[in-house]
Amino acid sequence: MSFWNRIFSKNEESFPNVDLSIFQVDMHSHLIPGIDDGSKTMDHTIAMLAKFQSLGYHKVITTPHIMSDYYRNTPDIILGGLENVRAELKKLNLKIEIEAAAEYYFDDALMKKLINKEPLLTFSGKHVLFEFSFHSQPEQIDKLIFELVTQGYIPVLAHFERYVYFHGSVDKAIEYRKSGVLIQLNFNSIFGHYGPDVKKQAELLIDSGEIDFVATDCHRIEHLLILENNLNKPYLHKLSALKLKNNSL
């Protein structure tokens, strides 16, 4: 019997809590108030950042949506909001660091930005977080990846486990990683927050090791409370044993 089979044969409740400080940096969240479907107010933002700090994180890279039909955020809007949050953190003497990039939705507007060589909001150098439609596989994914990579970006595909058209296999994760794309997993997918199919896909990714980043994708404090209440789950332990890139940011 393998190590993990022996471990998983135990009662889940007997597991010790994972220490989230091992991840150090959360690189996908929605904490700038009032600009997308994340935090609504500065008070909500500060409460979430205080919770991140209590969970052991020392830095958060928040990534507001940029989506042409819904969230027409610009670098000025996002970076201006970031400075307001930083000012509030300083006033309250909270030590957690916050940076900002964006979560780009793959649509015509993103392709136009790339074709026109408009600079994208990045984190840790040239990392670009992007996402697809959850239910309809977009066309020209290969072209998108080619444009990002040839322009010197490091593409990071958000919450791979939530795309239903990839379910049941990690083949696309393997293919994308070979082409230069990094794969990000949401913590709460492991706990069934997005449904049983997403949970199963998250477990496949963890079993295969085809993951580069894990993140909260925090929109509201409840997302952090779900994580906090599930720190003893076996797949979180297995995830914590992978060589992820969070602590390199």
Per-residue pLDDT reduced to its tens digit, 77-115: 999 999 999 999 999 999 999 999 999 999 999 999 999
Q: Which two tokens stand for residue 223?
A: 């997302």
- Give residue 7's pLDDT: 52
- Give residue 203's pLDDT: 98
Number of domains in the chain: 1
- Residue 208 in any domain: the answer is yes
- Residue 29 in any domain: the answer is yes
- Beta strands (DSSP E) in 152-212 are 154-157, 182-186
The domain that holds 27 is classified in CATH as 3.20.20.140
pTM of the model: 0.93
- Residue 82 to residues 42, 44, 224: CA-CA distances in angstroms? 11, 14, 20
Cβ atoms of residues 25 and 57 within 8 Å: yes
Cβ atoms of residues 185 and 240 within 8 Å: no
- Residue 59 in any domain: the answer is yes
Return averaged pLDDT per consecutive 10 residues of the chain, 249 residues in all: 50 79 98 98 98 98 94 97 98 97 97 96 97 96 97 98 98 98 98 98 98 98 98 97 97
Range of the domain at 196: 15-248
